[in-house]
Amino acid sequence: MAHINFFAFVRGFNVFKHIKHLCSVRKRKLKLDISKTTENETLSNSCEPNSSEPHIHETKNNGPPPQSKVYQSFANIKYPPKRLRIERKDWYVVGCSSIGRNHITTNKPCQDNHFCSIQNDGWGMAIISDGAGSAENSHLGSKHISERAFDIFKQFLIQNNFIEEKIFLQEKEWQEFSIQAFRQLYKSLFDFCFAREIEFHSVACTVSIVIFSPNGLLSTHIGDGRAGYCTVNGEWKPLFIPHKGEEANHTIFLTSSPWSTSKEIVMSNVLVPESRVVNEKISAFTLMTDGCENHAFECSKFNRDINKWFDPNVPSEKFFNPLCQQLKSLKENNVSEDEANLNWRHFIESGNQGLKEESDDKTLILGILI
């Protein structure tokens, strides 16, 4: 089972305060020195990943997912609204990875994992990883990736002074770095397998990352995860497009060699990895594996004009708005993060009939800025 990781932090950083900052970012050569990360693991230069590793697809065959129709409170205790004078804006984030019914029936572990850390200066990072159902050790791969990705991406932000200088990257720069960082993750996972004498293809997993601040978001992903955010005007928008194959439940994994060896690969009409910069103030964000998509997103709609089903990829306001209000109530009543996450776990496991009967593993992270 995944473990929830949170750390306290203080304020948010501003973006693009002066035009010269923009110019300096464009001229800057991005740095990523993984040797400076604090994790005990060091990346071996003697073990190179096998570039001939096949492109891994998976068909999950979980049957039609149950649809969530009734939205209930995730908190067992009703907390009354409480008016507070808040001098600053802080993040309040909950997250959970929960095993699906199919894995319980087949005696398999939960193959989802996640990691979330709120840092000082008002920024934080949320990471999810979904192990391939057909890969024997994918639960180990998703755990390693969700934790190791934080070290690599955090080190990049520190080395390039993006937090200190309070600036955002241009989207092209963010895409270039994301490819570089994911290749480091690819190699880190290969070294992880080599040290434990397990097959690389057995740890196949997706990965999705959101770096959040009061002034915007950075996102990047490989695979079929979904993410969204809410503007300060209350509009929910998708953050990226899930990588889906031509057949149902097909996707691409971090361990798939084509993206790591090719200069440019496209899936679902977007790049792999797909990286985005949201340069606007936000009030909330969410990140999830595909086990939650049918309950929290509008992702299947019939177009009568073309007589075809399509994926609108829109976060459900009916699902997220009540949850954000409940999170705000918990925060204003000084409910601890541990208690909030316990209530969140109860909601993900059995908050409504659809979530309760979901056959796939479920990971859902939700953060609000208050």
Domains belonging to the chain, first-starting first, are: 52-369 (3.60.40.10)
**Beta strand 266-267 with 112-118: parallel, antiparallel or unpaired?**
unpaired
More confident call, 306 vs 126: 126
Q: Which of 110-114, 164-168, 262-266 has the highest mean pLDDT?
A: 110-114
Q: Which residues pair with 237 in a beta bridge?
A: 229
Q: Which of 239-268 are b and which e, b meaning 16 or more Cβ less than 10 Å from the residue's Cβ?
A: bbbbbbeeeebebbbbbbbebbeeeebebb
Average pLDDT over residues 30-41: 52
Gap between the Cα atoms of 292 and 114, Å rounded: 14
Neighbours of 121 (CB within 10 A): 15
Question: pLDDT-based confidence at 76, cuts 50/70/90?
Answer: very low
Q: What is the pLDDT of residue 261?
A: 80
Distance CA 148, CA 174 (A): 19
Is residue 75's pLDDT more than 80? no
Supply the pLDDT for residue 367.
Answer: 97
As a whole number, mean pLDDT of residues 311-329 equals 96
CA–centroid distance for 163 within its chain: 20
- Show the DSSP H helices in 160-310 as ranges: 171-196, 257-261, 293-296
Asked whether residue 232 carries a pLDDT value surpassing 60, the answer given is: yes
Least trusted range by pLDDT, from 120-124, 342-346, 357-361? 120-124
- Among residues 294, 300, 315, 115, which one has the least CA distance to residue 229? 315
Instruction: Name the least confident of 68-82, 270-284, 309-323.
Output: 68-82
Can you say whether residue 96 is alpha, beta or left, with left for phi > 0 and alpha for psi between -120 and 50 degrees? beta
Residues with Cβ within 8 Å of residue 95, at least 6 apart in sequence = 4, 114, 116, 126, 341, 344, 363, 364, 365, 366
Residue 168, pLDDT score: 76
* Residue 168, CB-side half-sphere exposure with 13 Å CA sphere: 26
* Residue 45 predicted with pLDDT over 70: no
Q: Each residue of 350-359: pLDDT tens digit?
A: 999 999 999 9
Strands 226-231 and 207-213: unpaired
> Considering the chain, what percentage of its residues have pLDDT values greater than 70?
75
pLDDT of 305 above 70: yes
Task: Write down the H helix ranges in the chain.
Answer: 19-27, 101-105, 138-159, 171-196, 257-261, 293-296, 317-332, 337-350, 353-357
Separation between Cα atoms, residue 154 and residue 235, nearest integer Å = 29
Query: How far is 215 from 222, CA to CA, in rounded Å?
Result: 24
Enter the pTM of the model: 0.80
Residue-level pLDDT at 302:
84
The residue-averaged pLDDT of 188-215 equals 96
Structure tokens at 74: 């995730």
Average pLDDT over residues 67-80: 47
Look at residue 49 and tell me whether its pLDDT is greater than 80: no
CB burial string 277-315: b at 16+ within 10 A, e below: bbeebbbbbbbbbbbbbbbbbbbeeeeeeeeeeebebeb
Q: Please, which residues bridge with residue 97 across strands?
A: 363
Percent of the chain with pLDDT over 90: 61
